[in-house]
Chain A
């Protein structure tokens, strides 16, 4: 079975400060990991993914995430937050060689204050 935990319902950060949105996962084997963003009244948009290789993954809009196998984590980061980054962020996992269906975390609301 696969699962994802996003321990924070909400993250608040001031514009210009670095941000981190946390994600930990559980799979039987090796994971494929994804981050998505959802703006109000929109569907989910893909941000970045870890498949294999370099543990630091760079994605859209200046976001990056670091895969940490020992801590089973895939935290989303950005060096300098923008007000426009305010949205709902979902982490997702799929087991390599397993089901095509990803498991999503419950989502973290990111609020960037001017």
Chain B
């Protein structure tokens, strides 16, 4: 099973600023995912990040707002840009090692924008 270290665990940010969230995996994985979990709601996939290619964004999410880097098979970052209070949420990174295997998650980043 993969162990994922995600940081920061939480942050309070001013509107209009940006925050970069880091996700480090203890093994090489092909596919990494970034999710948003708004209060009282389920997980919404933001994008899929594969090493060596641009991230694939889901409907409603754009690269200018949520730029993603995937420089190698163990690391990824998600930036939340030009933040507004509506961006207050928990952001989770996740990896999967095969189509029939479970997903592994980082501990999440609780973001509050004031």
Residue A58 is within 8 A (CB to CB) of chain B in the complex:
no
Number of A-B contacts (CB under 8 A): 54
Asked if B33 contacts A101 (CB within 8 A), the reply is yes
Complex contacts, B106 vs chain A, CB 8 Å: 43
Complex contacts, B104 vs chain A, CB 8 Å: 46
Asked if A44 contacts B92 (CB within 8 A), the reply is yes
Partner of B103, one of A41, A97, A102, A105: A102
Q: How many residues of B contact A (CB 8 A)?
A: 25
Q: How many residues of A contact B (CB 8 A)?
A: 23
B98 to chain A, nearest CB (A): 8
Residue A104 is within 8 A (CB to CB) of chain B in the complex:
yes
Partner of B108, one of A41, A97, A107: A41
A64 to chain B, nearest CB (A): 16
Which of B9, B48, B107 is most buried by chain A, counting CB atoms within 10 A of its CB?
Answer: B107
Q: How far is the CA of A102 from the CA of B33 in the complex (A)?
A: 11
Asked if A100 contacts B42 (CB within 8 A), the reply is no
Chain A residues with a Cβ under 8 A of chain B: 32, 34, 36, 41-46, 49, 51, 90, 92, 94, 96-97, 100-102, 104-107
